[in-house]
Structure 1
Amino acid sequence: MELPETRIPGLVWAHLFAPETGSCQRVPPASTIQELLAQDGFVWLHLGLSDARVPALIAGLPGITTDAYQALISRDAHASLSATREVICGTLVDFQRDFDEMSSEIGWLHFAVTDKLIVTTRLHPLRSIDQARATIEKSGRINSPLNVLGALVTEFQRTVVTLVHEINEELNLIEDYVYEDAEKDETRKLAPARRTIVKLHRHLRTELALLRRVTTADEDEIPDGFDDIARQLSDRIETVERDVSSLQERARLLHEDIDSKATRQTNRHLYILSILTAFLMPPTLVTGFFGMNTGNLPFAETDGGTVFATIFILISIGLAWWLLRRFRIL
């Protein structure tokens, strides 16, 4: 099946929201950017950065400042947030989405919000924004571009909660292997989960700090109504940040348990090797003594000399065993 041709470069989807009711209408792919901007209400444009024509399109959009333009076309992998009276822009962390399954790989959603337009861009398909679009299309009650941004963060919170549940289940399986002394490589399974947790926790802390900084700014420096939305978003991100923080602590303790288990196994192997060395060292000394190519060796000219040497070997083993028992090593 052929996809419909789009007249907007890099368009993934576009939605038009009615000015009074806030009802959501999907824009046909054949629409032009001029037709969209001429409509009443506000527009949500979601663009893919894989199209090289997208930067030129973004540069011509009304209300997009230099900072907003840089935020929308950025390929940087870190969270950012900038708010002025004219535009709110930045980068939010998200999770990539494969064609047939959800991924735990970190992705990035770039956005810019004005009073009549919200533009979001991404390089890879993302998990939360697709869910946010489905929720908005179903509810159909969005009154401002800021509410679209709030819906994106809400769906991101739900995605993180789902991911936390998935990682919790994986940690439960690893714990079963650790405490049942199963012969499995738990570290290989734990490492990817810890890497995802650490990266997510770091980005969430950054986003939380950025939102808190915005909420402490003067009211005349940010758009009307954004202060309340920023506080709500901050509360949501703080909630999931606590969940991820507790998950990080659990993964750290589990990693310490795995290291402790590996250390116990190594010590047990070294103990067995040491016991074998202690038993074999005296016989080695006896055989080394009788193996010297020197004159006048004991039993060299005596019948049954090998038997006597064997007796000395057995005595040395018995002496080693007695010493190990005497000093409570065995």
Structure 2
Amino acid sequence: MAGYGIADNATVASLNGKRASGRTALSSVTAAVITVTKLSHQAAASMVGCCGHTRDPDRIKTGEAAMNIALPAEGIDLSPYLPDEHGLFFIYHFKADGSRTTDPAEAHWSWRSYQITDMRARQEIGAEEALPAPVRDAFLSPSHGCQIDFEDDFLYGDLPDLRHDFAEARGLTHFRFAFNDRMLVGARKQPLESVDKIRKLVENGTRKFRTPAELIEAVMGQSLDGMAAELDKMGDTLDGIEDRIVCDAWHNERQALVDARRQLVLIHRQMATLTNLFRHLDHSHRNELPDPINDMATRLSHRAHTLHHDGEQLQARTRLLQDELMAKLTEQSNQLLYILSVMTAVLLPMTIISGLFGMNVGGVPLVDMPSGFWVVTAISVVIAAIVYMVVRRLGRV
């Protein structure tokens, strides 16, 4: 029993030593993790400073942490973005002369872009006291197509834009925004071509925006330019389809024409909506809109109306080409049906004669004649030739 006690004491001492070693190793690992974490935070802070990303002035005042806006260095394509912990893609500050600044204290106005489907972004926007309640409600409401309105010195809405060309499917999506003379808040679901182009101009410093209205006009101008380019592509596509239809090489053009018409319908519908929206904005808030916003709306409305007219012309071309293509198909079908009818008429006498001579009854003529088959064949051919000549005389061949 004493032996067992000694062995147990030795085992316990060994286990206690291992536990102490484990605790020492765990403490070392914990200290190393804390050190690495501190170094990573310092490196992240230095990277934020180098890239020019700044803290929100309101959060600096309240002592909250700055947004971690992970933007690479200048000259690198930043799209598609990954939103940070606030659902924010980026934030830019602009001086009064329109140049970009990294110091919020020097900023005359700022531009923020959010991922609208991110709940963190929706919470940030919903808690933004600078936005009036009607603007926040409209900003966070489900999208029901294009809209634009003016409320409490804020112009806000949901306008069309083209998805970026790196997206899986090319097409139209929407850009949601709200701005006054001090701030611009934007949001989107998918990468947008026009917003990304303007962002690159801001990153490179090649263009200055003195007010949010100038930036929104630039974004919408890029969007309209993109839609104009799409209309030009559709025009070239229709030219090729028309050439092939004229040259009777139209047999594979039906699906291409359907695709072109579907794309034109989408763009034309958006242009019609934009024209109506700007007209409604002018009629409803003509006396409330500041002069810069009123001038911007007038210019964009005129451009959208021009593209709307161009889209109508292309749609008229697609309808004409579709009518011509259907006429070609109808003509081909009629020719095939006519050939089938002629063959039926020509072979009908032979069918009748073969049916008569094929009856298993007594008294069938030419049964005992060695040349009876050839006589019946000659009679059938003569009758078929007479039928064919009659049809040809009627002018149906």
What's the TM-score bracket when you normalise by the shorter of the two chains? 0.7 to 0.9
How far does residue 85 in structure 1 lie from its aligned partner after superposition?
Answer: 3.3
In 2: Cα distance, 1:304 partner to 1:202 partner: 77
Q: Which residue of 2 aligns with 1:205?
A: 272
Secondary structure in 2 aligned to 1:216? helix
Q: Which residue of 2 aligns with 1:21?
A: 97
Q: Which residue of 2 aligns with 1:32?
A: none
Secondary structure in 1 aligned to 2:114? strand
How far does residue 50 in structure 1 lie from its aligned partner after superposition?
Answer: 3.7
How large is the RMSD of aligned CA atoms in angstroms? 2.4
In 1: Cα distance, 2:396 partner to 2:258 partner: 37
How far does residue 15 in structure 1 lie from its aligned partner after superposition?
Answer: 1.4
Retained in 1: the 8 A contact 2:134–2:151? no
How far does residue 8 in structure 1 lie from its aligned partner after superposition?
Answer: 5.5
* Letter aligned with residue 188 of structure 2: R
Deviations, residues 270-301 of structure 1 (Å, cap 9, x unaligned): 12212211211111111111112222122223
Retained in 2: the 8 A contact 1:112–1:120? yes
* Letter aligned with residue 300 of structure 1: V
Q: Which runs of 5+ in 1 are unaligned?
A: 28-34
Retained in 2: the 8 A contact 1:9–1:54? yes
Retained in 1: the 8 A contact 2:167–2:191? no
Deviations, residues 198-249 of structure 1 (Å, cap 9, x unaligned): 1111121111111111112344533453222211111121122222222222
> Judging changes above 3 Å, is the alpha-carbon distance between structure 1 residues 184 and 74 closer, same or farther for their aligned structure 2 residues?
farther
> Judging changes above 3 Å, is the alpha-carbon distance between structure 1 residues 8 and 148 closer, same or farther for their aligned structure 2 residues?
farther
- The count of corresponding residues between Structure 1 and Structure 2 is 317
> Judging changes above 3 Å, is the alpha-carbon distance between structure 1 residues 302 and 6 closer, same or farther for their aligned structure 2 residues?
closer
Deviations, residues 117-176 of structure 1 (Å, cap 9, x unaligned): 111111111112212223455443212111111111111121112111211222222122
How far does residue 184 in structure 1 lie from its aligned partner after superposition?
Answer: 3.8
Query: 2:183 aligned with 1:106, yes or no?
Result: no
Higher deviation after alignment, 213-222 or 39-48:
213-222
* Letter aligned with residue 86 of structure 2: P
In 2: Cα distance, 1:70 partner to 1:196 partner: 32
Query: 2:181 aligned with 1:115, yes or no?
Result: yes
In 2: Cα distance, 1:197 partner to 1:49 partner: 28
Retained in 2: the 8 A contact 1:81–1:91? yes
In 2: Cα distance, 1:6 partner to 1:328 partner: 74
Which one has the bigger helix percentage? 2
In 2: Cα distance, 1:48 partner to 1:166 partner: 31
Retained in 2: the 8 A contact 1:93–1:107? yes
Query: 2:387 aligned with 1:326, yes or no?
Result: no
How far does residue 10 in structure 1 lie from its aligned partner after superposition?
Answer: 2.2
Higher RCO, Cα 8 Å, sep 6+: 1
Secondary structure in 2 aligned to 1:89? strand
> Judging changes above 3 Å, is the alpha-carbon distance between structure 1 residues 139 and 235 closer, same or farther for their aligned structure 2 residues?
farther
Q: Which runs of 5+ in 2 are unaligned?
A: 1-69, 72-81
User: In structure 2, which of residues 210, 213, 219 is the aligned counterpart of residue 143 of structure 1?
Assistant: 210
Retained in 1: the 8 A contact 2:261–2:318? yes
How far does residue 73 in structure 1 lie from its aligned partner after superposition?
Answer: 3.4
Query: 2:275 aligned with 1:195, yes or no?
Result: no
In 2: Cα distance, 1:78 partner to 1:243 partner: 22
**Percent of aligned pairs with the same amino acid:** 28
What TM-score do the two structures reach when normalised by structure 1?
A: 0.87
Deviations, residues 87-123 of structure 1 (Å, cap 9, x unaligned): 111110111114278x641111111112321111111
Structure 2 matches for 1:1-330, cutoff 5 A?
7=84, 9-18=86-95, 20-25=96-101, 40-76=107-143, 78-99=145-166, 104-137=170-203, 138-182=205-249, 184-223=251-290, 225-330=292-397
Secondary structure in 2 aligned to 1:182? coil
> Judging changes above 3 Å, is the alpha-carbon distance between structure 1 residues 191 and 217 closer, same or farther for their aligned structure 2 residues?
same
Secondary structure in 1 aligned to 2:172? strand
> Judging changes above 3 Å, is the alpha-carbon distance between structure 1 residues 326 and 178 closer, same or farther for their aligned structure 2 residues?
closer
How far does residue 7 in structure 1 lie from its aligned partner after superposition?
Answer: 4.9
In 2: Cα distance, 1:193 partner to 1:10 partner: 37
> Judging changes above 3 Å, is the alpha-carbon distance between structure 1 residues 74 and 104 closer, same or farther for their aligned structure 2 residues?
farther
